[in-house]
Amino acid sequence: AQSVAQPEDQVNVAEGNPLTVKCTYSVSGNPYLFWYVQYPNRGLQFLLKYITGDNLVKGSYGFEAEFNKSQTSFHLKKPSALVSDSALYFCAVRPFEIGGKLIFGQGTELSVKP
Amino acid sequence: DTGVSQNPRHKITKRGQNVTFRCDPISEHNRLYWYRQTLGQGPEFLTYFQNEAQLEKSRLLSDRFSAERPKGSFSTLEIQRTEQGDSAMYLCASSLEGRRAVNSPLHFGNGTRLTVT
């Protein structure tokens, strides 16, 4: 079955420190992976995606993600966290045919303290 | 690009009543998706359309739920005989897929929060 797992319900970091939000995936073919962010009472906002090519993907707001095929991981990273980065982060995989649904992980709550 | 619009933002209804939500996708997007999200969980896929054709429907979706996209533009999601377990945020998303847009991300609306009392 196609799925993603986010092993941490919550991640706490101090402002200015690097942050990592973890995601592992399980797919039967080539993985198409996405990261989204959600602020309270809002929809999800797209951050970045990996389809093919370079393992390090750069996205919005200074975020990047590293695709690691051997570890089946797609961790989200940022070199220097901001308080405004505090939100819910979701990893997602697109299974089967191109252009179909996304399957989301359960989410990780990121808290950045000043 | 005015984004994906969902109405209403909030809906409170009594158990057993029918409710209908509307989603207006980004105008040039040919795919439209419905998701449900409960507190502390990731969005759960319900169904999606390409133009007016409903291409996939979740097996978890009760037959009390029905979605339409009659002209390939806006979509409606109806829940009949609502139950307390239907209380959730209902999210709509759209994307453009085709030869010039492959593996596009989904663009989400702000959702409709349903409370069934």
Contact B48 A100 (CB under 8 A): yes
Question: For position B104, what pLDDT does the model report?
Answer: 85
Mean pLDDT, range B25-37, rounded to an integer = 94
Question: For position A97, what pLDDT does the model report?
Answer: 60
Backbone angles phi, psi at A60, to 5 degrees: -75, 155
Contact A94 B103 (CB under 8 A): yes
Decide if A106 touches B, using CB distance below 8 A: yes
What's the pLDDT tens digit per position in B1-24? 579 999 999 999 999 999 999 999
Q: For chain A, give the number of residues.
A: 114
Query: Who among A46, A100, A106 is closest to B42 (CB)?
Result: A106
Using CA atoms, how far apart are residues B10 and B15, in angstroms rounded to an integer? 16
Q: Is the confidence at residue A113, as pLDDT, over 70? A: yes
Kindly give the pairing relationship between strand A10-14 and strand A108-113.
parallel
Mean pLDDT, all residues of chain B: 93
Look at A103 and A100; give whichever has higher pLDDT. A103
Question: For position B71, what pLDDT does the model report?
Answer: 87
Contact A41 B110 (CB under 8 A): yes
Restricting to A residues 34-93, those with a Cβ less than 8 Å away from any Cβ of B are 34, 36, 41-46, 49, 51, 90, 92
DSSP helix/strand/coil, A26: strand
Residues 6 or more apart whose CB falls under 8 angstroms from that of A78 comprise A18, A19, A61, A62, A63, A64, A85
Q: Is the confidence at residue B55, as pLDDT, over 60? A: yes
DSSP helix/strand/coil, B86: helix
